Amino acid sequence: MEYFKLSNGIQIPALGFGTWKVKGDDCVNAVKAAIEVGYRHIDTAWVYKNEKEVGQAIRESGIPRSDFFITTKCWNDHRGYEATMKAFQVSCENLGTDYLDLYLLHWPKPLDAESWRAMEELYETGKIKAIGVSNYHQHHLEDLKKTARILPMVDQIEFSPRLTQEPLMAYLKDEGIQMEAWSPLMQGQIFDIDVLKELAVKYNKSIAQIVLRWNIDKGVVVLPKSVTPSRIKENFEVFDFKLSSEDIARINALNQNIRTGADPDNFDF
């Protein structure tokens, strides 16, 4: 595993296991498979409705809680100071833990300033090791900075070869905010891109491995998801090679500003 250092000194695994849309026994089994091949960074959210299954898989692994980096997220209708405090407690109970490694505001919404105040308090008491946001553009972060005492340590955004978000990436780097990537494989759309096919042959790796390595080489924490044990294992096997600067540039050039998910400036949930 490779690690990045957050602004507060916390080490975050560069590769995490995503659990969006994975429910019930499928979730338990997928997380167990991920843990078996070496994942220790697990990413979930209250709205995924699988926090209990993630917690079950971690407990049943027999590996100490302290070995894991667990992320979950505060949902959009849990905003405001008291609502965020309650949401944090519910997520901890679901996961079977008394602290979180990373807690994120899931999407930019009204009352985020009050939610952030709650998260700052939870961070200062040690109940959360790091706090951050998800799906925030630069202007959302600038709004939050007007009242925040502590700057977000992470911004988890959609990021892929077709959506490189270079201006936001540069801003986050300047601010010392770690970028994380969701939907890095574009829900399978990457497999149709000729440049990625060429690079897979060149490096003797899968297209998915090329894209995951590209993320890490660019300093981005990446969160692939799969329920297939062989793909879970394959996605983890990205630490025995690096891409050349020329090939990183070739992938960067694939950007078309194409999203597979909602735009943080235009969503209705």
Task: Tell me the catalytic residues.
Answer: 48
DSSP 89-152: HHHHHHHT-S-BSEEEE-S--TTHHHHHHHHHHHHHTTSBS-EEEES--HHHHHHHHTT-SS--
- Is-contact 185 241, C-beta < 8 A? no
Across 169-183, b (16+ Cβ under 10 Å) vs e yields bebbeeeebbbbbbb
- Is-contact 112 144, C-beta < 8 A? yes
Q: Is 30 helix (H, G, I), strand (E, B) or coil?
A: helix
Which of 37, 38, 35 has the alpha carbon at shortest distance from 53?
A: 35
Give dist(CA 197, CA 191) in Å, integer: 7
Give dist(CA 5, CA 23) in Å, integer: 31
- Is-contact 60 27, C-beta < 8 A? no
